[in-house]
Amino acid sequence: MSEMKPTRPEMVRSVRVFQALRNFGAAFRGVEADFYSMSKPTKKMQFWSHSWHGSMTAKVLTLYLTQNAFPAAFLSTILAFCVTMFFALSRIPSLDHVVSTFSERAVPCCLPLAFASYGLVLLFWQRQEEVFVDKLCINEWDRQLKAEGILNIGAILKSSDSMLVLWDKTYQKRLWCLFEIAAFLHSRPDGQKPHLVIRPTLLGPLVAVLNLGLIVGSGAAYLSAYVADLTSEGSGPILPFWVLFGLITVQVQFAVADLARRYCREVEDLSQELRSFRLDDARAWCCSVGHVNPASGGSIPCDRAVVERCICSWFGCVDEFERTVRTEVLSILDSQLSTALTSYCRIVEASPCILWAFADFSVSPMLEGNADAAMRLLLRGFAYWLGVVPAFLAVLYRMAHCLRRARRSWCLDKLVSMMLACFGVCLFVCTAVAEGALFGLLRPWLPRAAYGAIFCFSSLTLAALLWNRPRCFPRRPLFGASAATLRV
Ligand SMILES: [Zn+2]
């Protein structure tokens, strides 16, 4: 093991990404089955490192998102575009009643279809990349093969060209997790930069909540046109509708704000824990069960002895390994985790439903032959999707970081999250109102499409400034581990 050479070439194994995610990530949810038969010998793959002690659901959601969000967003947006064009260009008589029903309002076609397609691609995309996952590539049922598989971890890490770390707050406390990451760094040839991809498992739930908020917002925008019609006829209660919509929006924003604050706290704890890391403090499952298998009652050997022997062989001594964890591992985790939750690309991948909703609104003017108004709506869709929402989230994330500290009482802590949520909603409403006022001001002077283009350009410029200017939104570690310690 310490020489990082395989006992047999076929012990270095991998599965395809879609196999690892099969049955909604059954392998990660603790389902017992013969997953090993899916794996095949390989020479190069990505190593997936994760802790078995964090939330399984969050991990599976995050995996789906990091692996399949891009094809899901891309294909669904193409579908939304095709549906818009179909409605706009078709003059099919059977669609006449649809046109008359939805005239002047959003035609709810793109958003539901594209959203369904997004979900299907996200869940069932057959991604072919090869990956190593412990539960699928090490035989769990044959004691001898299992022991041999564990012995080959060094060789497997050496054959991996990159490592995906699914990080949660239990990760830095687990002996095997820190061992894997340190061994991966050690296995890189001199001068080669290690390709480490670190994804917090909070990403999955956060994006799910964010998407829920966007869908609720789009749905309410559709309904508002109908409610306004009913009110003008004297039969509809518009105020209760807006109060209900406001409450749902604040609730979703609250969940996002609370998760973002929690995440900032967890990354800060990581810095403090790893700065004072000692090998003796890292926990191993074997020690936690007293080296007695809870299922069979038989004795199990201690992983710590094996790990310590390898550490001494690779790093010279335990002190040097601890120094590596306190400097290199901390620096990599800290610098990537500080920005991992809020990457511009990730936000764009997760929120194309904004564009789909605007596409629905543009169908009506298209059917009436008003290309100018339709173009303005589509450009506004791009502006909100690629500019306004990412800029808005950059500001909110910065604020969540400033307000991350846990308050003494639970109520006070939730109140801070609620204040952040209300601030977010106010900021968004002000942006929408200001945009409407600007449109009213420029309307006599400019065609609608030209206004849409100006709005699109200015919001994209704002987003680019916020995401690229370190002063506005630091790309450096937020939590103080110096990037200068990164010497890998
Ligand atoms: Zn032990």
- How many whole angstroms from 106 Cα to the centroid of ligand 1? 62
CB atoms within 10 A of CB 180: 23
At 86 the pLDDT is 82
Q: How far apart are CA 433 and CA 412, in angstroms?
A: 31
At 258 the pLDDT is 92
Placement of tokens 């966007």 in the chain? 214
Q: How far is CA 194 from the centre of its chain?
A: 22
- How many whole angstroms from 158 Cα to the centroid of ligand 1? 25
- How many whole angstroms from 289 Cα to the centroid of ligand 1? 8
At 411 the pLDDT is 93
- How many whole angstroms from 114 Cα to the centroid of ligand 1? 50
Percentage with pLDDT > 90 across the chain: 22
pLDDT by residue (tens digit) across 373-397?
888 889 999 999 999 988 888 888 8
Q: How far apart are CA 287 and CA 303, in angstroms?
A: 8
Residue 133, CA distances (Å) to 11, 57, 332, 382 in order: 13, 17, 22, 38
In a domain, 196, yes or no: yes
Confidence of residue 483 (pLDDT cuts 50, 70, 90): very low
CB atoms within 10 A of CB 91: 8
Range of the domain at 113: 9-370
- How many whole angstroms from 156 Cα to the centroid of ligand 1? 22
- How many whole angstroms from 313 Cα to the centroid of ligand 1? 19
* Residues with a beta carbon under 5 angstroms from ion ligand 1: 284, 286-287, 302, 304
At 96 the pLDDT is 56
- How many whole angstroms from 175 Cα to the centroid of ligand 1? 10
In a domain, 387, yes or no: no
| Predicted confidence (pLDDT) at residue 429 exceeds the cutoff of 80 | yes
Helical (H) or strand (E) element with 15: strand 13-16
Confidence of residue 234 (pLDDT cuts 50, 70, 90): low
Short-list 101, 239, 317, 273, CA closest to 171: 273
| Predicted confidence (pLDDT) at residue 277 exceeds the cutoff of 70 | yes
pLDDT by residue (tens digit) across 19-69?
999 988 888 887 877 888 899 999 899 999 999 888 899 999 999 988 999
Count the domains in the chain.
1
- How many whole angstroms from 301 Cα to the centroid of ligand 1? 7
Confidence of residue 486 (pLDDT cuts 50, 70, 90): very low
In a domain, 101, yes or no: yes
- How many whole angstroms from 300 Cα to the centroid of ligand 1? 8
Q: How far apart are CA 21 and CA 125, in angstroms?
A: 10
- How much is the average pLDDT of 408-430? 91
Order of all β-strands in the sheet with 196-200: 40-41, 13-16, 130-132, 45-50, 160-167, 196-200
Tokens matching residue 292? 């007695």
Confidence of residue 225 (pLDDT cuts 50, 70, 90): low
Q: How far apart are CA 230 and CA 187, in angstroms?
A: 68
At 473 the pLDDT is 44
Q: Beta strands 40-41 and 13-16: pairing type?
A: antiparallel
In a domain, 478, yes or no: no
User: In sequence order, what are the beta bridge partners of 132?
Assistant: 47
pLDDT by residue (tens digit) across 145-154?
887 888 888 8
| Predicted confidence (pLDDT) at residue 368 exceeds the cutoff of 80 | no
Placement of tokens 């990760």 in the chain? 171
- When the pLDDT of each residue in the chain is averaged and rounded to a whole number, the result is 82
- How many whole angstroms from 52 Cα to the centroid of ligand 1? 16
Q: Beta strands 130-132 and 45-50: pairing type?
A: parallel
In a domain, 3, yes or no: no
- How much is the average pLDDT of 306-325? 84
What is the per-residue DSSP string for 168-180? -TTGGGBHHHHHH
Cβ neighbours of residue 413 closer than 8 Å, sequence gap 6 or more: 406, 407
| Predicted confidence (pLDDT) at residue 341 exceeds the cutoff of 50 | yes
Q: How far apart are CA 469 and CA 259, in angstroms?
A: 25
- How many whole angstroms from 381 Cα to the centroid of ligand 1? 56
In a domain, 130, yes or no: yes
- How many whole angstroms from 51 Cα to the centroid of ligand 1? 17
In a domain, 485, yes or no: no
- How many whole angstroms from 288 Cα to the centroid of ligand 1? 7
pLDDT by residue (tens digit) across 80-106?
988 888 877 765 555 555 555 555 566
- How many whole angstroms from 222 Cα to the centroid of ligand 1? 59
pLDDT by residue (tens digit) across 185-202?
888 887 778 888 888 888
- How many whole angstroms from 163 Cα to the centroid of ligand 1? 26
In a domain, 484, yes or no: no
Please say whether the beta carbons of 110 and 134 come within 8 A: no
Placement of tokens 């959601």 in the chain? 61
- How many whole angstroms from 26 Cα to the centroid of ligand 1? 27
